[in-house]
Amino acid sequence: MVRRGRKAMIAGAVLSVGLFATWLAVPAGAEEVQPDVQATVEDLKLANAEDAAAASHLSFGAEPYQHVSAAAESAAAAASCAIDGKYATALVIAMIWPEVSPGGQAPSPMTLSRYDVQPTLGDPQGRAPGLWFHPGIGMWQLDSAGLGTDFTAMEAMDSQLAADRMAPFIVNKYCSRINAGGSAPDARAHAWTDWVACRGGDCDTVFWHVYNNGVTLVDGVSRYGGGEVRTCEYAGSEYECLYVDAARAEGANWWAAPGGGRSPVAAPFYVFKQGDGSSATEVRYWLAGDSGAATDVVASRDFGTNARGGLVWNTGSGFCDRTTGTGSC
């Protein structure tokens, strides 16, 4: 049976939700189409997965790939089933292009989700349009509603830290199905169940592309995908923080354009973690000069909390970027 392409089925859907109605930008390499129907997030992600599966070549940033392949090889060595580093690497990254780079370009570790438009993700006072809390972050789109609930945006963008945590998770899911008597295709599908883009089977096509042909390594994509590690002071304490400006994203950045998705794009912000373990809190901080608001604004989320219903927004004060001397220094 020939599967009808999802791009043809959804035909560039009208993506209107409340005040955030926008056209969905078509990623590089995808066919330009005219909107006429409404599509679900799953429709859009599966359409992107089809594009990724059809890509003639797949690129990856050389530095992030070094972290990912090392983590995958380590996970394979410790696995409870027979799996080598090459197979594990393909398994661990097969969902990345379908999720964040359907045209096959090098994925950006900075990638911010653009599908969610719940009003609770925006500043309730509406002080500036860029005061927006993206819930899905990074190459694996670690979301506060699921796998990313105990990651800050800084950690999810960190291609080394994220790979070190995701590689054993994915490999262990694969082995659990193999050890239960499942076939290799079934085990791969089981390993990818947390990613919507894999539900149509296209991640398996990407897997075999990577396994058989490898990836094209490219320069210019750093560990955080353009995020800049800084030293910040807030409320009398010092933190390692990340300055995130979507305009500086390295790698595939179609999502960073105003028309690259349904939600607003966050104005440049800082992100850091307060506390440790299960009691940790993710903090995202916008300086007034970056967001255009009349004051600094801060949004926080306790680990284990879905950002769509668990954000606390406040007027910010007393924040200093010690690396650049920006803010209240």
pLDDT score recorded for residue 310: 94
For the residues 118-142, what does the mean pLDDT come to?
A: 97
What backbone phi and psi angles, to 5 degrees, belong to 227?
A: -70, 145
pLDDT score recorded for residue 12: 34
At 302-316, the pLDDT tens digits run: 999 999 999 999 999
Q: From 320, 270, 230, select the one nearest 328 (Cα to Cα).
A: 320
Distance between CA atoms of residues 288 and 295, nearest Å: 5
Residue 290 has pLDDT above 60, yes or no: yes
Q: From 283, 315, 320, 304, select the one nearest 153 (Cα to Cα).
A: 283
Q: From 239, 50, 73, 302, select the one nearest 167 (Cα to Cα).
A: 73
Name 217's bridge partners.
Answer: 60
Determine contact, residues 257/28, Cβ cutoff 8 Å.
no
pLDDT score recorded for residue 192: 98
End-to-end CA distance of the chain: 65
Q: pTM value?
A: 0.89
At 41-51, the pLDDT tens digits run: 899 999 999 99
Determine contact, residues 177/83, Cβ cutoff 8 Å.
no
Distance between CA atoms of residues 288 and 286, nearest Å: 6
Among the ranges given (5-9, 71-75, 273-277, 285-289), the one the predictor scored with the smallest mean pLDDT: 5-9
Residue 17 has pLDDT above 60, yes or no: no
Residue 143, both tokens: 């979301």
pLDDT score recorded for residue 277: 87
For the residues 92-100, what does the mean pLDDT come to?
A: 98
Round the average pLDDT of the chain to a whole number and report it: 90
